[in-house]
Every structure is written in C-alpha cells, then in structure tokens.
Homo-oligomer: A and B are copies of this chain.
Amino acid sequence: MPPNPWQTKASRIAYENAWIRVREDDVIRPDGQPGIYGVVEIRPSVGIVAMNAAGEVALVGQWRYALNRHSWEIPRGGSAPHEADMLITAQRELAEEVGVIAQHWEMLSVVDVCNGVSDDMQSLFLATELSETPMHLDPEEDIVVDWRPFDQVVAMVMDGRITEVCSVAAVLMVAHKRLERTAR
C-alpha cells in the first residue's frame, strides 16, 4: 500500500448539528500544492437484511428529506454517541424500527459511503431466526415496515425500485452468498 500522499496543516469545524459535523482542513495535496478538504463527519452506522423463516425480508419505507422523495430500504440507522459495537447498534435499530430481535447475526461487510467527502462507515449485517419485540421509533421517524420475499427484493434492487446504495449492496451480498452455498 502506498503512503498517505496528503498533509494536514490545520483543521477547523465549519458546521455542526446533532447528526453531522463538517471539518475543513488546510492540506498539502498529493501534487504538492496547498488546498482545502472538507470532510463530513458522521457517526458509524448500520444496515440490516432481516430475513424471517418464510424467506421474507423487512423493508422500511420512509420519506427521505435530503432527496425529497419516498424510499424503500433495509432498516438502517446511526450509532448512538460512544456506541462502539456496531452489532449492538444493529440489534437496537432492528428492534426499534422493525420490532424484531434476531438470534443469528452475520457480518456482511463494513462499507464506506460517500468516501470522497465523508467518513461514513456502515456495517452491513444479515439477521435471521427472528422473533417479535415492541417497536420504539425516534420522534423524527415516520416509517412503514413491509415484509417482501427475498427474490422480490433482489428484483427491486435490479430494476431501480430500491436505489439506496447500502441496501443495494447488502441485498446483493446476501444473494451472492446464497448462490455460493447452492453451488457447493
């Protein structure tokens, strides 16, 4: 691996709210010239493909303010401050948003999201052996949950009905793993 070709000379917080913080660094770029780099800092997050015994997957539908449209996605959410274990975050998120707890958890990947400008890292899980628990939504969340057959969810990813990229990645990782198991 090559060494870091960037130098950071100074750093300041340019914007902050409860969810994101924008850091602007004075840098020396890889070409040796001075410049700035704005990094959107976000707490680590999780995304969960939750599959029940019937092979159905939980989809969460909600209006995405930043896109100004409705979106179907896998259950996703940010970690609480100082929450270091993303499995705990995923278990909390799945219980709160979908109202299920899972006996079996499989880590799919830790993906980086929008890495040109953000440090967002989302841990993707497959959760199975599900049972019900009461839901607890955050006040700013206005969501519906729908359970769809896995093949239908894959079709929604492939034909553009699901566009949220972590959902696309997680669903297709599960599809690929299932194919590999079948092929063996």
- Given known pairs A63-B6, A70-B2, the reply for A33 and B139 (CB within 8 Å) is yes
Contact of A113 among B37, B78, B165 (CB under 8 A): B165
Oligomeric state, in copies: 2
**Interface digits, A1-45 against B, CB 8 Å rule (1 contact, 0 not)?**
110111000000011010110101001011101011111101000
In the complex, the answer to whether B17 meets A36 with C-beta atoms within 8 Å is yes
| Interface locus among A51-59, A81-89, A166-174 | A166-174
CB distance from A61 to the nearest CB of B (A): 8
| The one of B15, B63, B142 that contacts A38, using a Cβ cutoff of 8 Å | B15
Q: From known contacts A30-B142, A140-B31, A168-B173, infer whether A163 and B109 are also in contact, taking CB-CB under 8 Å.
A: yes
Inter-subunit contact B20/A140 (CB<8 Å) = no
Q: Using a Cβ–Cβ cut-off of 8 Å, how many residues does chain A contribute to the interface with B? A: 70
> Are A66 and B116 interface neighbours, CB within 8 A?
yes
What's the nearest-Cβ distance from chain B to residue A180, in Å? 8
Q: Are A165 and B166 in contact (CB under 8 A)?
A: yes
Seen from chain A, the residues whose Cβ lies within 8 Å of a Cβ on chain B are 1-2, 4-6, 14-15, 17, 19-20, 22, 24, 27, 29-31, 33, 35-40, 42, 61, 63-68, 70-71, 76, 78, 109-122, 139-142, 144, 154, 157-158, 160, 163-166, 168-169, 172-173, 175-177, 179
